[in-house]
Amino acid sequence: MNLDFEAMDRSDELSSFRSRFHIPLGGDKKPVHYFCGNSLGLQPIEAHDAILQEMNDWKRLGVEGHFHAKRPWFSYHTFFPELLAPLVGALPIEIVAMNSLTVNLHLMLTSFYRPTELRHKIILAGKDFPSDRYAIESQIRLHGYDPEQAMVEIQPVPGAHVLTTEQIEKAITEHADSVALVMFSGVHFLTGQFFDLARIAKAAHDVGAHVGFDLAHAIGNVEMRLHDWNADFAVWCSYKYLNSGPGGVGGVFVHERHAERNDLPRLAGWWGNNEATRFEIERGFQSMRGASGWQLSNAQILPMAVHKTALDVFADATMKRISAKRDTLTAMAEHLIDDALKNTDEVRIITPRDPRQRGAQLSIGFDKKGREVFDGLIADGMIVDWRSSNVIRVAPAPLYTSYADVAAFGDSFSKQIKKHL
């Protein structure tokens, strides 16, 4: 395959979006080739001014900034449902930006993991992200059950790296009478597999279980339709593909059918209370309608300022165009990796080959010398990610990754494979 990467960059309709981000410089003072957006996205150019605006309003107005800032702080959280809903395929009432990912996961588990002696199991993918596993383990113990019995992790069959949807459906059916919740990542952090969330949700509901998704590696990466797929809830962070800064504000989806379910137990806070009575010193929580009713505290203005700036970029680019470029970038990276590995069987791509089952990530598994290859890539200015399971993750984020970046990665990867293997 002969590829003219420079010509492809010239004809790329998203190429101008690269200029809306700060590209870090390497030791040679030249821009690095950044493939780590699945861990931390790059800083939007406008983020600095967005924070400065809030700092100046705070300086100028003090407490009056809640109502008289350029973007009044009291209603700041209301800016986000319309921006986030298209990224997950939801209605605005189903969305709220708040807290951080694992905090939100605990809030959702409090409401949707309601174990009984008969139904107390949680089904998830094997080797899922550590924080999710810790949260699930602790919630199981909190309810008095044993994670060794109640936590069902589905592992790939011997010789495989990813799960099939049929495996997942079979596991749910096998535990039909004892499963309380099916909890899956949208995109598996290690393998990059994009799960069939629609079929997983249906299988869970068919056996009477709730279903929730962690979209940390999915939002801003792959197109989704959470409302149509009938998910009960979803949570995510914003610092990966959403480019909203380290520790950026998280988000929650709660399906519309739960919008007025006051029978669902929840951990309440004043910002989830009816806005009209939020400041009254009375007993009795009165939930806001929809996902907003799960809010605890008032908006985190400074990180939300960055978040809004980053989401404005997505609104301009659209997920349809982002997805199209993602598939092309990832396919080209896949071709270059395969070409570099044609003379070795000690390294392999463990991400699904089907573009419908992956996003902007390719995970490369090594039998040996993986760390040496990673160190060589970093020395060449390729910012990729190393996992202790001998995996290098490469994520070409369409908003700022160019086709020339992919070409440079291919050259460097080929050089490192020849050097070390």
Please give the CATH number for the structural domain made up of 52-315: 3.40.640.10
pLDDT of residue 389: 87
Cα 152 to Cα 272: distance, rounded to the nearest angstrom: 33
Q: Which residue has the tokens 């290859």?
A: 373
5-31+318-420 shares its CATH topology with 52-315: no
Q: End-to-end CA distance of the chain, in Å? A: 24
**Quick one: which of 248, 234, 358 has its CA closest to 291?**
234
Cα 253 to Cα 333: distance, rounded to the nearest angstrom: 33
* 19 CA to centre of own chain: 23
Cα 47 to Cα 21: distance, rounded to the nearest angstrom: 9
User: Which secondary structure element, helix H or strand E, spans residue 47, and what is its range?
Assistant: helix 47-61
Q: Are 105 and 214 in contact (CB under 8 A)?
A: yes
- Residues whose CB falls within 8 Å of the CB of residue 123, separated by 6 or more in sequence, listed in order: 152, 154, 168, 171, 172, 175, 179, 181, 182, 183, 204, 209
Question: Which whole-number Å values give the CA distances from 80 to 20, 222, 296, in the listed order?
Answer: 20, 19, 16
In degrees rounded to 5, what are phi and psi of residue 169? -60, -40
Q: Can you list the residues of the chain whose pLDDT is less than 70?
A: 1-2
pLDDT of residue 251: 98
Delimit the domains of the chain by residue range. 5-31+318-420, 52-315
pLDDT of residue 280: 87
* The pTM of the whole model exceeds 0.85: yes
Helices 319-340/403-420 angle, 10° precision: 20
Please give the CATH number for the structural domain made up of 5-31+318-420: 3.90.1150.10
Burial class (CB in 10 A: 0-12, 13-18, 19+), 101: buried
